[in-house]
Amino acid sequence: MPAVKSPFTKDTFQFFRELGKNNRLDWMNENRQRYRACVVEPFRHFLEDLAPSVLELNENFDVSGRTGVNFSRINRDIRFAKDKTLYKTQMYVKFQLPSLGDRESGQLYVGLSTDTVTAGFRIYSGGKRKESVLAAIAEPRVIAHPKWVAQQRKRLSRSYESYWYTTVKGEWTKHESWPTEPEDWKKIQAWIVRKKMKPTAARQPSFRKEILRVFEDVYPLLEFTGIPD
């Protein structure tokens, strides 16, 4: 696979840093064109670069390029959030499969923030865990195959970090480990397996190839936890 020039530059990360210091509507309005040039367009180009290879993993991945489906929103929903800043200082491109009832399903993703690049797999329960893909597919499969997570840890842990969430007294609680115990899966709300990189990695011609390697590594996690038989 030939290396191609990355659409991301120093300006992408500089924009996020400045946004963090000027997280106001007037500043964003003044820098709207810069936001499109440094963030929106590079992410769209990156989606287009990745899409053909992602579809080779599974032809049902959504690559439509819609915000919310393939791109995270930079506007923060502050109605119920503790963080009342208006904008997020990061952006994600993500690929997910359709699920019954439009439930949240697992995703392959790449995220850029002020000083970090992350890529990997994540799955969330969404609003109602009992109706989620995590509860309907992932939980019974892990219980039926209790060694599966340990096998994935052995395969991936040298290059990837794993953490997961439960809720304790209504608050999300983070567990920085691999959820290897079947009992964990009766209460798990989210699971993330990711590789962390420096911002310079996103500016290299090899970035596309590196991200596709990550997707190939973690796709079995998405397949096991979210794709019905």
Residue-wise pLDDT tens digits, 177-222: 999 999 999 999 999 999 999 999 999 999 999 999 999 999 999 9
> Hunting for tokens 């990156």 — which residue is that?
46
**For the segment 54-86, what is each residue's pLDDT rounded down to a tens digit?**
999 999 999 999 998 899 999 988 766 677 899
> Hunting for tokens 């670069």 — which residue is that?
49
CATH number of 10-226: 3.30.930.20
Instruction: State the average pLDDT over residues 6-12.
Output: 96
The answer for residues whose C-beta is within 8 angstroms of residue 54's C-beta and 6 or more apart is 61, 63, 95, 108, 212, 215
Whether the Cβ atoms of residue 46 and residue 110 lie closer than 8 Å to each other? yes
Kindly indicate the confidence band of residue 108, based on its pLDDT and cuts at 50, 70 and 90: very high
pTM over 0.75: yes
Q: What's 7's DSSP letter?
A: S
Per-residue pLDDT at 44: 97
Where do the structural domains in the chain lie, given as residue ranges? 10-226
Token pair for 44: 């769209």
Q: For the chain, what is the mean pLDDT?
A: 93
Among 183, 106, 190, 173, residue whose Cα is nearest residue 142? 183
